[in-house]
């Protein structure tokens, strides 16, 4: 990766964002949800799983247990059986039950609206908290760094970091705060559709002429 000045890096980041926004004007969260509770649950289920699979499971889950009160009272084995196909279902079921119980005990069954309150809840780390804040509440507190955002940030030459928190710290000053949530969607959509982990389609990429990782 060639070294860039801070100003060059900011200009590079802005051009990437501009092109991705033009390429994916409809980029959005691909998990299906109707409220903050459902988005928190769906995001927990999406770990190591496709959004499509999560979306296949959540209608049944939310029909049985539509809110934190109902899920808090659900037997663990029943939660496990409903979410089994999303993988890591025992851990996820424990997280969901723990989350629901803590929401009931400490937040009147509602999902809190701050990073501090969210990240102490079972199953909710910084990534999930950013998803919930940005998409359910419209609060740009940070940038969601999932596997796609992490890979693309490095390929774009925006950071050399490999862990999510340092990657997020590198990205935040490069993009306008009001665009942080949408930026995550743009990068995730580009990662899913073009900049594949194993076979990036560089020759069809809108960033081909400015990407330091271009490899035809
Ligand atoms: S040029 Fe290739 S590596 Fe760079 S963003 Fe596009 S697909 Fe990814």
| Ligand 1 center–CA 74 separation, angstroms | 45
- Supply angle C-alpha 68, 136, 50, rounded to 5: 80
One of 3.60.10.10, 3.30.1950.10, 1.10.1670.10, 1.10.3720.10 is the CATH number of 6-28+143-204, namely 1.10.1670.10
pLDDT digits (tens, 9 = 90+) for 146-170: 999 999 999 999 999 999 999 999 9
Q: 36-136 adopts what CATH topology?
A: Endonuclease III; domain 1 (1.10.340)
Question: 26, 51, 52, 127: which is the annotated catalytic residue?
Answer: 127
| 127 a catalytic residue | yes
pLDDT digits (tens, 9 = 90+) for 77-132: 999 999 999 999 999 999 999 999 999 999 999 999 999 999 999 999 999 999 99
| 6-28+143-204 and 36-136 share one fold | no
The residue ranges of every structural domain in the chain are 6-28+143-204, 36-136
107's CB contacts (< 8 A; 6+ apart) are: 117
Q: Can you give the pTM of this predicted structure? A: 0.95
| Ligand 1 center–CA 128 separation, angstroms | 26
Q: Is 157 in the pocket of ligand 1 (CB under 6 A)?
A: no
Q: Is 36 in the pocket of ligand 1 (CB under 6 A)?
A: no
Q: Is 32 in the pocket of ligand 1 (CB under 6 A)?
A: no
List the residue whose alpha carbon is closest to atom 2 of ligand 1.
202
Question: b/e for 143-155, b at 16 or more Cβ within 10 A?
Answer: bbbbebbbbbbbb
């Amino acid at each position: 990766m060639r070294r860039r000045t801070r100003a060059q890096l900011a200009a590079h980041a802005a051009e990437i964002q501009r092109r991705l926004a033009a390429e994916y004007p409809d980029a959005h969260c691909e998990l299906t949800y109707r409220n903050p509770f459902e988005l928190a649950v769906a995001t927990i289920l999406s770990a190591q799983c496709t959004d499509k699979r999560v979306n296949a499971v959540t209608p049944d889950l939310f029909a049985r247990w539509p809110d934190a009160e109902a899920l808090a009272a659900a037997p663990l084995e029943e939660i496990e059986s409903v979410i089994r196909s999303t993988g890591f279902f025992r851990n996820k079921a424990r997280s969901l039950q723990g989350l629901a119980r803590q929401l009931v005990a400490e937040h009147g069954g509602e999902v809190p609206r701050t990073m501090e309150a969210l990240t102490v809840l079972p199953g909710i780390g910084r990534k999930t908290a950013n998803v919930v804040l940005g998409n359910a509440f419209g609060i740009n507190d940070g940038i969601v760094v999932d596997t796609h955002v992490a890979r693309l940030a490095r390929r774009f030459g925006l950071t050399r970091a490999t862990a999510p928190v340092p990657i997020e710290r590198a990205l935040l000053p490069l993009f306008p705060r009001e665009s942080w949530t949408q930026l995550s969607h743009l990068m995730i959509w580009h990662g899913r559709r073009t900049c594949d982990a194993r076979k990036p389609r560089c020759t069809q990429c809108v960033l081909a002429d400015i990407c330091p990782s271009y490899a035809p």
